[in-house]
Amino acid sequence: MVKWVKREFFHLYLEGNKNLLNILDGTNDKLPPKSPILEDVFRTYLLFGGYPEVVLGGLRNEIESIAVTSIEEDIIRYFSLKDHDRMWSFVKRLAVVPGQLVKLSSFDVSFRTAEEYLTILSRSFIIRLIGTYSHNKNVELSKVKKVYLYDNWFRNALIGSFTLIESDKGPLVENAIFRQLLKYGEIKYWRTRGGAEVDFILLRGTDAIPI
């Protein structure tokens, strides 16, 4: 993973970040040219995320056990959850498809237990729930939320897969973009009853930017 620590990659990132900020702030409407170098790094990021000890290779062989410990020690034991298997089943189901709509009635637990699990996982910085964008705040609160994970490596460790298969590319890219957008403002999503959807609505000041 030497390529992660080369200085030129950091400069490419800074330049891209500056371009993105200009686009978000409306001072530029042109996307930067494609960078094969960054695309190669991004593919690795989709699988192993952005935690320094992971991407530098120091914990590459241990990340699945770290994920297990995080769930067992930091969540199940800390919150004194009695049914280990149900929590594992719950979190793995959330991890399979980042960006999915979370319908509490679809889980193999009671509505109240599902709410409790979501709260615990959110407060433990395992998942992040985002709501719908609307001018009506009551509508925002009542709509179904979407779920993302804070880092791709944790998701891949939970499901035991570090191979970029075709069916995984979309959700992994969406989760990675979500993680980066967190730096630029509050995130919502927009969806009609007919199923038309904008993946992200980025709120910056008084602007609502569809992505």
**pLDDT at position 1, please?**
40
Using pLDDT thresholds of 50, 70 and 90, give the confidence band for residue 2. Answer: very low
Q: DSSP letters along 9-26, please?
A: HHHHHHHHHHHHHHHHTT
Strands of 207-210's sheet in order across? 186-191, 197-204, 207-210
Chain segment 195-207, per-residue pLDDT in tens: 788 999 999 988 9
What average pLDDT does this structure show over 24-30? 84
pLDDT per position as a tens digit, 105-122: 888 889 999 999 999 999
> What pLDDT is attached to residue 6?
64
Cα distances from 126 to residues 4, 70, 121, 138, in angstroms, run 24, 9, 5, 27
pLDDT value, residue 59: 65
pLDDT classification of 129: cutoffs 50, 70, 90: very high
Structure tokens at 85: 């298997």
Q: Which two tokens stand for residue 99?
A: 């960006």
pLDDT at residue 51 greater than cutoff 80: no
* Cβ neighbourhood burial of 187 (10 Å; 0-12, 13-18, 19+): buried
Higher pLDDT, 45 or 142: 45
The answer, yes or no, to whether residue 186 has pLDDT greater than 90, is: yes
More confident residue, 141 or 25: 25
The reported pLDDT for the residue numbered 116 is 94
The model's pLDDT over 74-106, given as tens digits with 9 standing for 90+, comes to 899 989 998 888 999 999 999 998 999 998 888
Residue 38 pLDDT: 79
